[in-house]
Structure 1
Amino acid sequence: MRIAICDDEQNYRNLITKYIRFYFHEHLLDLEYDEFSSGEELLLSNKKFDIVFLDIEMNELNGIQTAKELNKRNKKTIIFIITAYQKYLDDAMDLNVFRYIDKPIKSDRLYNGLDKAIDLINNNEITFKTRNDGIITIHKNDIIYVEVKRKTVYVNTVEKQYIAREKMEFFKNALTALYFAIPHISYVINFNFVKKFQRDKIQLKSGQIISIAPKKQTEIKKKFMQFLGEGYGGLSNNI
Structure 2
Amino acid sequence: MLTIAICDDDTNDTLRIAALVKNYMDARKISYQVNTFPSGEELLRIHKNFDLIFLDIGLNGINGILVGKKIRERDHNVKVIYTTSFHQFCKQAVNHVHAFAYLVKPVTKVNTEKQLDDILQYIQEEHEPSETVRFEILEITQQGEVETRIKDFEVKDIFYFEYFNRKIKIKLENKEYFFRDKMKDLAEKMLEHHFEVCHQCFLVNLRHVKKIKGYEAYLNNNDIIPVSQKKSAAFRKKLNQFILSNI
* Counterpart pick for 1:107 among 103, 106, 109: 109
Shift of 1:173: 6.4
Distance 2:7 2:121 in 1: 23
8 Å CA contact 1:126–1:174 kept in 2: the answer is no
Distance 1:174 1:31 in 2: 28
Shift of 1:91: 1.5
Q: Is 1:127 matched up with 2:133? A: no
Instruction: Specify the alignment match of 1:16 in structure 2.
Output: 17
Instruction: Specify the alignment match of 2:80 in structure 1.
Output: 79
8 Å CA contact 2:83–2:103 kept in 1: the answer is yes
Distance 1:76 1:174 in 2: 23
Bigger-Rg structure (1/2): 2
Q: Is 1:69 matched up with 2:73? A: no
Instruction: Compute the TM-score of the two structures, normalised by the length of structure 1.
Output: 0.54
Q: Identity of aligned pairs, percent?
A: 29
Shift of 1:127: 3.1
Distance 1:173 1:127 in 2: 8
**How large is the RMSD of aligned CA atoms in angstroms?**
2.5
Distance 1:12 1:41 in 2: 17
**What amino acid does structure 1 have at the position aligned with 2:120?**
I
Q: Secondary structure at the residue paired with 1:127?
A: coil
Unpaired segments of 5 or more residues in structure 1?
130-166, 183-222, 224-239
Distance 1:69 1:128 in 2: 35
Shift of 1:47: 1.8
Question: Could you give the per-residue CA deviations for residues 40-84 of structure 1, whole angstroms, max 9, x where no partner exists?
Answer: 100101221100000000112111111111111111101000001
Unpaired segments of 5 or more residues in structure 2?
133-150, 160-172, 175-220, 222-247
Q: How many positions carry a matched residue from both structures?
A: 141
8 Å CA contact 1:78–1:117 kept in 2: the answer is yes
Instruction: Specify the alignment match of 2:48 in structure 1.
Output: 47
Instruction: Compute the TM-score of the two structures, normalised by the length of structure 2.
Output: 0.52
**What amino acid does structure 2 have at the position aligned with 1:54?**
L
Q: Secondary structure at the residue paired with 1:28?
A: coil
- The alpha-carbon distance between structure 1 residues 55 and 174, as it changes in their structure 2 partners (threshold 3 A), is same
**What amino acid does structure 1 have at the position aligned with 2:102?**
Y
- The alpha-carbon distance between structure 1 residues 126 and 174, as it changes in their structure 2 partners (threshold 3 A), is farther
Distance 1:40 1:46 in 2: 12
Distance 1:172 1:96 in 2: 28
8 Å CA contact 2:7–2:40 kept in 1: the answer is yes
- The alpha-carbon distance between structure 1 residues 60 and 25, as it changes in their structure 2 partners (threshold 3 A), is same
Alignment of 1:1-239 (within 5 A): 1-94=2-95, 95-124=97-126, 125-127=128-130, 174=157
**What amino acid does structure 1 have at the position aligned with 2:119?**
A
Shift of 1:174: 3.5
